[in-house]
Amino acid sequence: MKFRPCIDIHNGNVKQIVGGSLSDKNNYAVDNFVSEYDGAYYGKLYKSYGLTGGHIIILNPVGSEFYNADLEQAYSALSAFEGGLQIGGGINDENAAQFLEKGASHVIVTSFVFKNGVVNFDNLVKSVGKSRLVLDLSCRKRDGKYYVVTDRWQKFTDIEMNSQTLEMFSEYCDEFLIHAVDTEGKAKGIEPQIAKIMGEYCTIPSTYAGGISSFEDLDNLKELGKGKIDFTIGSALDIFGGNMNFEKVAAYGK
């Protein structure tokens, strides 16, 4: 169980948002924190602590007026920590290679794989290959169950988060990234059911994100995830305006 740091980029800034608030319309999101520093600053910071396997997420869609500014931020972070960060947000078979060439260790895909609520296995296979692919299975609750959501967490698929789903997709990717979207950016505690599912059924490296706000939350995640689930923290970190000490979090899993 180790800390995987994040760099979320929206409207040309490194920031932390309330995850469920993100909308393509008018490039809208509820901001928790907008950083005065650029992507390179955080790339250098994470490199100095040896925090490999973190992720950059571009939150504006391709075609947004802010997308090029987002790319500049992302490229600067990748350059500052070459080979140490993953990247996601609008990744497909046409642009994946450029991010790997810019220094990403892996690309993270969601919407390219899930089309109209179902899995497009052709796209899954042809993206970049298993060894450099992270599959984002971020999910939200509906009718008492958790389902994978896509398009910056705005659209439900019919893919339920369960043992069969995790077993099937583990054959196609190197890692999972799973955001508990309903708690993302709210710093009000983890989603225990998701953590438990991950602890029971994830057989490849997997990272939990969503709601972590205290070291008690980390202890709960460690127990529910059976000590094998990595974690990321955003809004709750002091470097993003929160109360959790970055150095202590970085040391937690070591």
pLDDT tens, 75-112? 999 999 999 999 999 899 899 999 999 999 999 998 88
Q: Are 166 and 203 in contact (CB under 8 A)?
A: yes
Burial class (CB in 10 A: 0-12, 13-18, 19+), 54: buried
pLDDT value at position 146? 95
Q: What pTM, to 2 d.p., does this model score?
A: 0.92
pLDDT of residue 68: 96
> Are the C-beta atoms of residues 212 and 192 closer than 8 Å to each other?
no
Residues 184-240 have pLDDT tens digits of 666 678 999 999 999 999 999 999 999 999 999 999 999 999 999 999 999 899 999
pLDDT at 61 over 70: yes
Could you tell me what percent of the chain has a pLDDT over 90? 71
Count of alpha carbons within 13 Å of 168, Cβ hemisphere only? 11
- Residues whose CB is less than 8 angstroms from the CB of residue 11 and which lie 6 or more positions away in sequence, other chains included: 27, 60, 66, 69, 70
- pLDDT value of position 22: 66
